[in-house]
């Protein structure tokens, strides 16, 4: 059997680009493909390998590209197919990989498929979407709620039926029980795979199949008025249905028609449900995104438990992965503070499993307050007050201290953080002690040392507020000690050890020889090569 231990997506680091906010090349204030092209050297020098680009397809942009109106095109705002081909080629020339977003659960309501589907009840594409008669009182067919607020059902006057949309009403859900839908999306996947795209991050994978009988979801006993109306019910019948795994397997088969391509699933579920997405025979997603570090409170005991619960729950050949930030969640530096964000970075890049870095987190970018009249995110606009805006974590990348942080010559689509003059790539690149320099060092050593990319994970239990573990490959061992709090703690494991600090969140400690019982200052993280 082929040795799969060193597959690129196991060894390497993935970097998420939110294309609207990465780099604008044409002055319209919105990032684009040519912009990404201009910054490939940066990404290569940084040391990340897999570039995941959030949707770049034609779209009315009701949900900023997560409402696709053509699965095999490029939105003119981002460029054209030539620009894409050139970008893909340049990525490959650098030995890097390109992962696209795939949004199969729903299309745009402006997709020709939906325009046809809503034409009449007997249109051949009627069954491509989820249409239902009203209930006896003329209301929605059941109590399912939209993630973005209100009922998930929208009435269509013309044909007298409702259609289901898990997100915006401009994002009707495709009917994945229909084989024609499956084929249409699989063909779109093949279109990109044939071009050489290295894989997909599949949007809301756990939503793809709904209960066959459309049973009402159970009321959520913990619902309170401050929550989004989505939380009124528990999505027991509208998400994570068993048959979804057949769909994932089919997608995986498409991926496997090509060499070494990657299937990532976006899945927000508890660990025991999440790991099922690897597939029973490892024929599911290669990497069902693990969002625990995004979801858990920053509490060492909870994080420690979760890491080990995850390690324990993984199927035999299931490769772990870790995510610290994305375009839907508050930035790590804002969630846990600047100091702890450094600890988090060290954790992300030393735990066992493929890390995904969200653009800008390598600079310690923070959420940016967006004035009310500038809010763009439909999640916030749809449910003012309770729907959390995702704009703060989507602000433009901070390249340098020139006007608009070097992101655009025009008016940026979202405000740029006020701190960009101090917090930017140009200043941080070589600056000892900067967040970027810390990332560069961690990425470098991670790439060089098999113990840190494919090595075993061995937990070390000491003080409950310290997180520590060993990564081991053949005779190479690294000890990682992370203080998740602000007070000094004692590290005294029940074994003898000695080693050299290779990377520290306090860079003045690098090169130090340490052994056995030591004090760990608050907010300190150490990566130690054991001797
Ligand atoms: C995913 C995307 C999010 C989008 C939603 C609907 O969660 O990450 O940005 O709004 O799906 O497509
Ligand atoms: Mg542009």
pLDDT (tens digit, 9 = 90+) per residue, 349-396?
A: 999 999 999 999 999 999 999 999 999 999 999 999 888 999 999 999
Pick 4-107+179-443's CATH classification: 3.40.350.10, 3.30.365.10, 3.20.20.80, 3.30.2400.10.
3.20.20.80
Domain coordinates of the chain in residue numbers? 4-107+179-443, 112-164, 456-530
**CA dihedral over 332, 333, 337, 338, signed as positive or negative:** positive
Q: What is the rounded distance in angstroms from the CA atom of residue 19 to the CA atom of residue 111?
A: 21
Q: What is the per-residue DSSP string for 217-262?
A: PPB-TT--TTS-GGGGB--TTTS--TTHHHHHHHHHHHHHTSSS-E
Q: Looking at residue 486, what is its pLDDT?
A: 94
d(CA 231, CA 353): 32
Tokens of 313: 């729950």
In this structure, whether the domain defined by 112-164 belongs to CATH 3.30.2350.10 is answered with no
- Atom from ligand 1 closest to the CA of residue 106: 12
Residue 473, beta-bridge partner list: 476
Question: What's 405's DSSP letter?
Answer: G
β-pairing verdict for 14-17 and 50-53: parallel
Task: Name the active-site residue from 12, 266, 366, 367.
Answer: 266
26: CB partners within 8 A, 6+ apart:
32, 34
- Please tell me the predicted confidence (pLDDT) of residue 465: 85
Is 400 marked active-site?
no
Task: Kindly give the distance from the C-alpha atom of residue 39 to the centroid of ligand 2, in angstroms, as a whole number.
Answer: 14
Dist. CA 239–CA 146, nearest whole Å: 12
Q: b/e for 312-351, b at 16 or more Cβ within 10 A?
A: eebeeebbbbbbbbbbbbbbbbbbbbebbbbbbbbbbbbb
Distance, in Å, from the CA atom of 264 to the CA atom of 100, rounded to the nearest integer, reads: 10
Q: Which residue in this structure is represented by tokens 């375009």?
A: 327
CA nearest to 173, candidates 68, 262, 53: 68
Residue 108: how many CB atoms within 10 A of its CB? Answer: 27
Residue among 328, 380, 382, 391 whose CB has most ligand 1 atoms within 8 A, to mutate: 328
Q: CB–CB of 243/209 below 8 Å? A: yes
Residue 32's contacts (CB-CB under 8 Å, 6 or more residues apart) are 19, 23, 24, 25, 26, 77, 78, 79, 83
Count of other CB atoms within 10 angstroms of residue 177: 15
Look at residues 254, 245, 252, 247 and name the one whose alpha carbon lies nearest to residue 192: 254
Measured CA to CA, the distance from residue 46 to residue 440 in angstroms comes to: 6
Distance CA 132, CA 279 (A): 31
Tell me how crowded residue 433 is: count the other CB atoms within 10 A of its CB. 12
Write the DSSP symbol of residue 174: B
Instruction: Identify which of 105, 203, 393 to mutate to test ligand 1's pocket (most ligand atoms within 8 A of the CB).
Output: 203
Ligand number with the minimum distance to the CA of 412: 2
Q: Which atom of ligand 1 is nearest to the CA of 328?
A: 9
User: Can you give the pLDDT at residue 41?
Assistant: 98
Q: Provide residues with CB under 6 Å of ligand 1.
A: 63, 66, 103, 167, 203-204, 266, 327-328
The answer to whether 122 is a known catalytic residue is no
Pair 378, 148: CB distance under 8 Å:
yes
Ligand 1 atom 9, closest CA? 328
SS3 letters across 38-77: HCHHHHHHHCCCEEEECCCCCCCCCCCCCCCCCCCCCCCC
Model-level pTM? Answer: 0.98
DSSP per-residue string spanning 88-154: HHHHHHTT-EEEEEE--SB--TTSHHHHHHTT-TT-TTGGGB-EE---TTSS-SS--B-TTSSBSEE
As a whole number of angstroms, the distance between CA 232 and CA 151 comes to 11
- Residue 280 and residue 249 in contact, taking contact as beta carbons nearer than 8 Å: no
Residue 2: what pLDDT?
Answer: 60
Encode the chain (531 residues) as per-residue pLDDT tens digits: 467 888 999 999 999 999 999 999 999 999 999 999 999 999 999 999 999 999 999 999 999 999 999 999 999 999 999 999 999 999 999 999 999 999 999 999 999 999 999 999 999 999 999 999 999 999 999 999 999 999 999 999 999 999 999 999 999 999 999 999 999 999 999 999 999 999 999 999 999 999 999 999 999 999 999 999 999 999 999 999 999 999 999 999 999 999 999 999 999 999 999 999 999 999 999 999 999 999 999 999 999 999 999 999 999 999 999 999 999 999 999 999 999 999 999 999 999 999 999 999 999 999 999 999 999 999 999 999 888 999 999 999 999 999 999 999 999 999 999 999 999 999 999 999 999 999 999 999 999 999 999 999 999 988 888 999 999 999 999 999 999 999 999 999 999 999 999 999 999 999 999 999 999 999 999 999 999
Atom 4 of ligand 1: nearest residue by CA position: 66
Q: How many Å apart are CA 117 and CA 130, to the nearest integer?
A: 10
Ligand 1, residue 378: give the atom nearest the CA: 10
Ligand nearest the Cα of residue 29 is 2
The per-residue pLDDT for 462 is 83
Query: Which residues make beta-bridge pairs with 504?
Result: 526
Distance CA 13, CA 26 (A): 29
The CATH code for residues 456-530 is 2.60.40.1180
d(CA 358, CA 51): 10
pLDDT of residue 134: 98
DSSP result, 406-470: GT-SS--SSPPPGGGGTSSHHHHSS-TT-HHHHHHHHHHHHHH-HHHHT-EEEEE--STTEEEEE
Q: What does the longest C-alpha to C-alpha distance in the chain come to?
A: 76
Would you state the structure tokens that stand for residue 349, as one six-digit string? 């890049």
Neighbours of 465 (CB within 10 A): 17
What are the DSSP calls for 476-506, one per residue?
Answer: EEEEEEEE-SSS-EEE--SS--EEEEEEESS
* Chain segment 64-89, per-residue pLDDT in tens: 999 999 999 999 999 999 999 999 99
């Amino acid at each position: 059997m082929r040795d799969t231990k060193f597959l690129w997506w196991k060894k390497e680091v993935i970097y998420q680009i939110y294309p609207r906010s990465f780099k604008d090349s044409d002055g319209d204030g919105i990032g684009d493909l040519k912009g990404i092209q201009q910054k490939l050297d940066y990404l290569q020098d940084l040391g990340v390998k897999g570039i995941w680009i959030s949707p770049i397809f034609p779209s009315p942009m009701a949900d900023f590209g997560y409402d696709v109106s053509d699965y095999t095109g490029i939105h003119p705002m981002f460029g054209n197919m030539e620009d894409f081909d050139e970008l893909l080629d340049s990525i490959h020339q650098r030995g890097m990989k390109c992962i696209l977003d795939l949004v199969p659960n729903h299309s745009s309501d402006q997709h020709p498929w939906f325009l046809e589907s809503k034409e009449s009840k007997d249109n051949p594409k009627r069954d491509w979407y989820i249409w239902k008669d009203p209930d006896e009182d003329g209301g929605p067919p059941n109590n399912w709620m939209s993630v973005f607020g209100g009922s998930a059902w929208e009435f269509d006057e013309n044909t007298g039926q409702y259609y289901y949309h898990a997100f915006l009403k401009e994002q009707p859900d495709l009917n994945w029980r229909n084989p024609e839908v499956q084929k249409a999306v699989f063909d779109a996947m093949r279109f990109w795979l044939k071009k050489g795209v290295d894989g997909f991050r599949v949007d809301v994978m756990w939503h793809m199949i709904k209960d066959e009988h459309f049973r009402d979801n159970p009321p959520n006993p913990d619902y309170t008025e401050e929550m989004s109306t989505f939380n009124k019910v528990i999505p027991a019948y509208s998400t994570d249905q068993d048959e979804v795994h057949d769909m994932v397997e089919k997608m995986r088969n498409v991926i496997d028609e090509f060499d070494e391509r990657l299937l990532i699933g976006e899945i927000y579920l508890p660990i025991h449900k999440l790991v099922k997405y690897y597939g029973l025979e490892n024929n599911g997603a290669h990497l069902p995104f693990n969002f625990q570090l995004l979801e858990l409170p920053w509490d060492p005991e909870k994080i420690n438990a979760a890491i080990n619960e995850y390690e324990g729950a993984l199927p035999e050949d299931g490769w772990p992965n870790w995510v610290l930030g994305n375009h839907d969640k508050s930035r790590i530096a804002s969630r846990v503070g600047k100091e702890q964000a450094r600890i988090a970075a060290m954790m992300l890049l030393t735990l066992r499993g493929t890390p995904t870095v969200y653009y800008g987190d390598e600079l310690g970018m923070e959420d940016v307050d967006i004035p009310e009249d500038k809010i763009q995110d439909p999640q916030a606009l749809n449910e003012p007050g309770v729907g959390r805006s995702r704009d703060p974590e989507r602000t433009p990348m901070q390249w340098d201290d020139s006007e608009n942080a070097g992101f655009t010559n025009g008016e940026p689509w979202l405000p740029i953080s006020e701190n960009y003059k101090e917090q930017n790539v140009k200043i941080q690149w070589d600056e000892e002690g900067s967040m970027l320099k810390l990332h560069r060092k961690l990425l470098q050593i991670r790439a060089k040392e098999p113990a840190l990319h494919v090595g075993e994970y061995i937990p070390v239990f000491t003080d409950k507020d310290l997180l520590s573990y060993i990564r081991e490959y053949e005779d190479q061992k690294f000890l990682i000690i992370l203080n998740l709090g602000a007070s000094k703690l004692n590290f005294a494991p029940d074994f003898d050890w000695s080693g050299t600090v290779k990377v520290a969140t306090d860079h003045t400690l690098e090169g130090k020889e340490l052994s056995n019982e030591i004090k760990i200052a608050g907010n300190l993280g150490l990566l130690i090569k054991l001797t």
